[in-house]
Amino acid sequence: MHRRRAAARGRGMMPLLQRPLADGHASDQAFYRQRLGSAAAESLRRTVRGELAWLLAPFMHHLPQALAEYESRAADPVRREAIRELRGLFGVISERWVDTFIYAVDARLIGSGAGLDEAQPGDELLSGRTELQAEEKYARLLCELDDRLQLIRRTLYVPVNVRALAPAGLSRALQDTAQQLGWPAGHMKFLFARFGEDVLLRLGELYRGLMVALRAIGSTAQQLDAQLSSLPAQAPPPREPKVDEGTLSMLRHYAAAADERYYDDRSLAADLLALAEKQSMPDMADEQRHAPLQRMSVAGQFFSEAVADPLLPRELRQRQDAVRLPLVKTALADATLFTSPHHPVSSLVDEMMLKAATARVTGDEEEKRAAERLEQLLVQFELAPDFVRQAILTQQPIDEAQVEKFLEAKRARAQERRQSVLHAVQRRVTEELRLSTFGREVPAAVQDFLHRCWGPLLMKGLLDHGPGDPRWRQDLDLVDQLVEQSELQGFGEDEEWAALMLRLTQRMAMSGMRDDRIEQGIATLRMLRRAA
Residues 42 and 145 in one domain: yes
User: How far apart (Å, rounded) are the C-alpha atoms in residues 176 and 191?
Assistant: 12
The pLDDT of residue 377 is 64
Q: Same structural domain for residues 114 and 33?
A: yes
**pLDDT value at position 26?**
45
Length of the chain: 532
Do 256 and 152 belong to one domain? no
Contact 442, 487 (CB under 8 A): yes
In which domain, by residue range, is 354 found?
A: 245-419
Do 284 and 393 lie in one domain? The reply is yes
How many other β-carbons are positioned within 10 Å of the β-carbon of residue 242?
13
CA quadruple 85, 87, 88, 90: dihedral sign: positive
Residue 410 CB coordination number (10 Å): 19
Q: Which amino acid does the sequence have at 216?
A: A
490 φ/ψ sector (left φ>0, alpha ψ -120 to 50, else beta): left
Sorted by sequence, the CB contacts under 8 Å of residue 29 that are 6+ apart come out as: 21, 22, 228, 231, 234
Residues 152 and 260 in one domain: no
One domain, residues 403 and 448: no
Paired residues of 110 in beta bridges? 160
Say if 130 falls within a structural domain. yes
The closest of 481, 433, 434, 441 to 457, measured between CA atoms, is 433
Which H or E run includes 467? none
Q: How many domains does the chain have?
A: 3
As averages over each run of 10 residues, the pLDDT of the chain (532 residues) reads 44 44 47 61 80 89 90 87 89 86 82 44 53 84 82 65 86 88 88 89 86 71 57 57 89 90 90 87 79 92 83 74 87 88 82 77 63 67 84 86 91 87 89 89 88 90 84 91 78 75 91 88 79 56
Same domain assignment for residues 82 and 199: yes
Q: Which of 386, 419, 452 is the last residue of a domain?
A: 419
pTM value is 0.50
Co-location of 192 and 132 in the same domain: yes
Question: Is 294 part of a structural domain of the chain?
Answer: yes
CA distances for 16 relative to 33, 34, 63, 157, 220, angstroms: 10, 11, 43, 16, 9
Whether 274 and 221 share a structural domain: no
Judge if 210 and 255 occupy the same domain. no
Residue 505 counted as domain residue:
yes
Residue 9: the pLDDT is: 44
Residues 17 and 145 occupy one common structural domain: yes
* Residue 392: per-residue pLDDT: 87
Choose among 512, 514, 507, 525: nearest CA to 447. 525
